[in-house]
Amino acid sequence: MTNDIKTSIDVLLGNVYICRYRIQPTLMKEELITEGKYKYVEVGEGTPIIVLHGLMGGLSNFEGVMNYFPNKGYKILVPELPIYDKPLLKTTVKSFAKFVDDFIKHKGLKDVILLGNSLGGHIGLLHTKLFPKNVKALIITGSSGLYESAMGDGYPRRGDYEFIKKKAQDVFYDPAVATPEIVDEVFATVNDRIKLVKTLAIAKSAIRHNMAKDLPKMSTPTCIIWGKNDNVTPPDVAVDFHKLLPDSDLFWIDKCGHAAMMEHPDEFNTILEAWLKVRKL
């Protein structure tokens, strides 16, 4: 297996939990809205919070956020990012950050709050750098942008189902969260040549857009919520984000892996609501 394929699988598995469900409105109370090139869920009225997912776009893992914050005076919008739909040369973090800007303009929004998980956090960070006037606050959890975990020493063939299963389980604190449906979806994607090539393009783009030099210049209030047991973006990464972002607060969730909003939705929402109140957002 080449280093490129190793990197692709690593990035894919780092976002594995997003594929728990493909975008299927029947699985959710909220209706999927389609307007031109945009597909998104919108619920509630008030201050807009735009949620940015990771690879293999799916929305239902954010149901905890969607069910909670509309009752607290927020409008939640979760756009489907065109992860596998763009031409190869535009399959980049920067292109997705621009897509978010286009979506904000399409919706006529101002002073949005961005909430990004994993690759979505990286997109949120870069969007905030490129379009600072759009964003009044940022929330990141398990975000890329500084570091992606290595796969280790052994790299079996892409066709090794047990390898994929083990790596999927490692994403979560509780390996049981990696259901057969999750593993099957990731296994199929890893073995889909077109998706694998685009995953590699995203991985290379993420490396090119390392945010370490940019973060100290970003004054946007930022809430960092991190799993203490995150194996994909370990706790040290959260500490580094906190050190580099001048106006940030760091919160930990115990017994939690890479998907805090999914693994511990109640605690995640409680932390975030308290932070928003303190920051008067």
pLDDT value of residue 27: 38
Task: List strands edge to edge, sheet with 222-227.
Answer: 32-35, 38-43, 74-79, 47-52, 112-117, 135-141, 222-227, 248-253
Are 91 and 205 a contacting pair, CB within 8 Å?
yes
The list of the chain residues with pLDDT below 70 reads 1-30, 56-60, 148-158
| Side chain identity at residue 221, one-letter code | P
pLDDT value of residue 207: 86
pLDDT value of residue 139: 99
Are 50 and 112 a contacting pair, CB within 8 Å?
yes
Which tens digit of pLDDT belongs to each residue from 232-245? 899 999 999 999 99
| Side chain identity at residue 38, one-letter code | Y
Backbone phi, psi, residue 93, to 5° = -60, -40
pLDDT value of residue 15: 54
pLDDT value of residue 56: 52
The CATH class of 3-278 is alpha beta
Are 180 and 173 a contacting pair, CB within 8 Å?
no
Which tens digit of pLDDT belongs to each residue from 77-98? 999 998 888 899 999 999 999 9
pLDDT value of residue 180: 87
The domain limits of the chain are: 3-278
- What is the residue-wise DSSP string for the chain? --HHHHHHHHHHHHTGGGGGS-S-GGGSSSPEEEETTEEEEEE-SSEEEEEE--SS---GGGHHHHHHGGGGTEEEEEE---TTTS-GGG-SHHHHHHHHHHHHHHHT--SEEEEEETHHHHHHHHHHHH-GGGEEEEEEES--SS------S----TT-HHHHHHHHHHTSSSGGGS-HHHHHHHHHHHT-HHHHHHHHHHHHHHHHT--TTTGGG--S-EEEEEETT-SSS-HHHHHHHHHHSTTEEEEEESS--S-HHHHSHHHHHHHHHHHHHHTT-
Does pTM top 0.75 for this prediction? yes
